[in-house]
Amino acid sequence: MKNDHAEPRTASEAGWRLSRYNISAKHPENKGFIIVNLMKGTCITMDPIDMLPLSALDTLSEDSPVLERYKKAGIIVNFDEQAMLESLARGACAYPVSVGLTVCPTMGCNFDCPYCFENHKAEKMNAEVQDDIVALAERMLNASGAKHLHVTWFGGEPLLAPDVIESLSDRLIKLSADKGADYQATIITNGYLLDQEKADMLSRVKVNSYQITLDGIGPAHDATRHLAGGGPTFFRITENLRTVKISGKINIRHNVHAANKGEMEQLKAFVQTLAEESGNDLRYYPAPVSGNDASDERQSNVNLLCGTDSAEVGIMQDSHRFHRGRGHYCMAHHLWGVGIDEKGRLQKCWEDVDKPEHSFGSAKRWDPKDPLGTADDPDKLTVYLNTAGALRDAECRDCLWLPACCGGCPNKRIYMERQCVPYKNEPEAYALAVWQARLEKKR
């Protein structure tokens, strides 16, 4: 706290101290150090002379101008950072910037990957469920005051129900406009049915990001990602990517495991060539998965959005989306993101979208104004919400990574075990990667 009338104090007398969430790395060109603050989401470089004030907090005045830079970057703080994280976690259900719906227009799929455990019911979402979703989106926007609605089309294979995507998108886009909110969408598709007509429709309904999986080149891909009833898919998917003009970013996910690790460079080069030939914004995305995960399509999709077990890939992903500390890990920690299956059942986690037994309620009845009173099974909601606030976990409380990690994936915490950031023991590599990612952005 500032003392305007008393004797001048030193910085440390005024409570200034090093943040517990600083990490550092040597500057790669010998220009001192890179300091990253995980709480404030900042990254600065300092030469050794710059660093002197940090060891002089006992003598420098609290108002010394040489400290301003460090205060601004959160490198030194005069408040309890753990208390702030606790408040952020408690506030996770308060007012958000964005409402997120993960919608499965069908759980049916035209692929029959031998590893997929989904029960592929061909049923499509009916008109009544679509009405319920629009009404739910309106309740969520009203209750939250959010000015952004984001939809992720998921499944099953969502392009088996393009009519549902189109009609529901039109209504959600109109709703957003009426509420003064902006609207964006993403699709997770296997890419087999992505022809020009569908790509044009998706572009019109504001889908600006795609996620498509290739398991390798040609037969390597076809061995695991074949059609229901048999038949290859690689050629058709890649021809779609080559010939269809697709607006938006297309992330090509490669499930990397021991057996196909050697193909990474080859597939990456293939995707780059495909991008050059087509003019589409294709980006290769290696996603190392372990043992069973490699043979679990849904897990692959979930990992795509929710993280990886590989330190190297984790650093690559997270350094590019580095942000200030917050109280929640994903939509499972707050009220403003829900998964919805073709029957209108609501889930808190991507992993649960095909598990009706984990549903907490329905699009028809659930109202975030009374989230527990209107939940059909409030325990299925609270089990996730209450994993926010990892400060109750002694290991997380003392952990350097808490502002960024928030205690890890709630699903893993509930059903398996705490999932730490995969680069937990590599803060220097992470700091360096954050610095490099920022440099790339500036260029």
CB nearer ligand SF4, residue 143 or residue 420: 420
Q: CA-CA distance, 333 to 288, in Å (whole number)?
A: 26
CB of 126 to ligand SF4, least distance (A): 26
Q: Which is nearer to ligand SF4, 120 or 413 (CB)?
A: 413
Interface positions with ligand SF4 (CB under 6 A):
302, 306, 329-332, 349-351, 390, 395-396, 399, 401-402, 405, 407-411, 418, 420-421, 424
Nearer to ligand SF4, 85 or 146 (CB): 85
* Sequential DSSP letters for 198-228: HHHHHHHTTEEEEEEE--SSTHHHHHHS-BT
If the CB atoms of residues 57 and 390 are measured against ligand SF4, the closer one turns out to be 390
Q: Which is nearer to ligand SF4, 276 or 395 (CB)?
A: 395
Least Å distance between CB 62 and ligand SF4?
31
Q: Nearer Cβ to ligand SF4, position 246 or 331? A: 331
| Shortest distance, position 19 Cβ to ligand SF4, whole Å | 16
Strands 22-26 and 33-37: antiparallel
Least Å from the CB of residue 329 to ligand SF4: 6
Closer Cβ to ligand SF4, 186 or 238, answer by number: 186
SS3 for 130?
helix
What secondary structure does DSSP assign to 303-348, as a single string?
Answer: HHHH--S-HHHHHHHHHHT-----S-SSGGGSTTEEEE-TT-EEES
CB of 96 vs ligand SF4, minimal distance in Å: 15
With vertex at residue 360, the alpha carbon angle to CA 355 and CA 365, rounded to the nearest 5 degrees, is: 120
Reading across the β-sheet that carries 42-46, which strands appear in turn? 22-26, 33-37, 42-46
Q: How far is the CB of 77 from ligand SF4 (least distance, A)?
A: 19
Question: Nearest distance from residue 57's CB to ligand SF4, in Å?
Answer: 27
How many whole angstroms separate alpha carbon 386 and alpha carbon 128? 32
Report whether 384 contacts 332 (CB < 8 A).
yes
Strand ordering across the sheet containing 281-288: 281-288, 249-256, 207-213, 182-188, 148-153, 99-103, 337-340, 345-347, 361-362
